[in-house]
């Protein structure tokens, strides 16, 4: 199915409040959902993103896509079943242009759900793919990465100086 570029909702838009809504489960993966997924894939690629949640194109339904460089992953009604380890890295968001921040995430996740044909799937991700999956599942719950930065900063408010100057520079995170 050919996809078409949809407008990505950003936080400052008149309809930006949708980003704070909790997306609804998808009862049946029908033609309309497959069209939505096709459009999301085209929209993500056009924006050079590595992930996208349906709510970011203004549709608060529980579907995400991710492409961490190993091909597109589609998960309908995703549920995180396992998480392991932790990673700290830069993140951005197509719905919050120009903002990046350091977010702690699980290093590995296992996500259960359905694919674009409605079949049960299990997606295991590590590293960047794990980060993207967690970022997108947050979107489905109305949570944005800037919320995680704030939480991290509160926890980290250090007594001693952070070792920032000594740390190797990280490249800017990919926007999802
Ligand atoms: Zn995002």
Q: What are the DSSP E strand ranges found in 58-131?
A: 63-66, 73-84, 87-92, 100-105, 108-114, 120-126
Q: Span 102-120, mean pLDDT?
A: 97
Dump pLDDT digits (tens) for 120-140. Answer: 999 999 999 999 999 999 999
Indicate whether 90 pLDDT > 80. yes
Using the mean position of ligand 1's atoms as its centre, give its distance from the Cα of residue 148 in Å.
12
Please list the helix, strand and coil fractions of the chain in percent, rounded to the nearest 5, in that order: 30, 25, 45
Provide the CATH topology of domain 16-163. Peptide Deformylase (3.90.45)
Using the mean position of ligand 1's atoms as its centre, give its distance from the Cα of residue 92 in Å.
7
Residue 132, sorted as left (phi over 0), alpha (psi -120 to 50) or beta, turns out to be alpha
Per-residue pLDDT, 74: 98
Structure tokens at 61: 């339904």
Quick check: helix, strand or coil at residue 85?
A: coil
136 is catalytic: yes
Gap between the Cα atoms of 59 and 57, Å rounded: 6
Task: Pick the catalytic residue from 110, 136, 152, 165.
Answer: 136
Q: List the domain boundaries for the chain.
A: 16-163
Look up the pTM and report it.
Answer: 0.87
Gap between the Cα atoms of 101 and 80, Å rounded: 23
Tokens 């008149």 -> residue = 14
Per-residue pLDDT, 174: 63
Using the mean position of ligand 1's atoms as its centre, give its distance from the Cα of residue 32 in Å.
23
Of the candidates 52, 113, 36, the one whose C-alpha atom is nearest the C-alpha of residue 78 is 113
């Amino acid at each position: 199915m050919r996809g078409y570029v949809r407008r990505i909702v950003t936080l400052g838009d008149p309809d930006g409040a949708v980003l704070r809504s909790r997306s609804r489960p998808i009862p049946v993966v029908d033609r309309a959902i497959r069209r939505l997924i096709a459009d999301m894939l085209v929209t993500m690629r056009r924006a050079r993103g590595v992930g996208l949640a349906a709510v970011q194109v203004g549709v608060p339904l529980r579907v995400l896509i991710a492409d961490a460089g190993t091909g597109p992953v589609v998960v309908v009604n995703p549920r995180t079943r396992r998480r392991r380890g932790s990673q700290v890295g830069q993140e951005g968001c197509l719905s919050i242009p120009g903002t990046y921040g350091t977010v702690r995430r699980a290093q590995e996740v296992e996500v259960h759900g359905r694919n674009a044909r409605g079949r049960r799937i299990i997606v295991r991700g590590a590293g960047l793919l794990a980060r993207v999956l967690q970022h997108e599942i947050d979107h489905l719950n109305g949570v944005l990465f800037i919320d995680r930065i704030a939480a991290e900063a509160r926890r980290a408010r250090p007594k001693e100086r952070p070792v920032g100057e000594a740390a190797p520079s990280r490249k800017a995170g990919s926007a999802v």
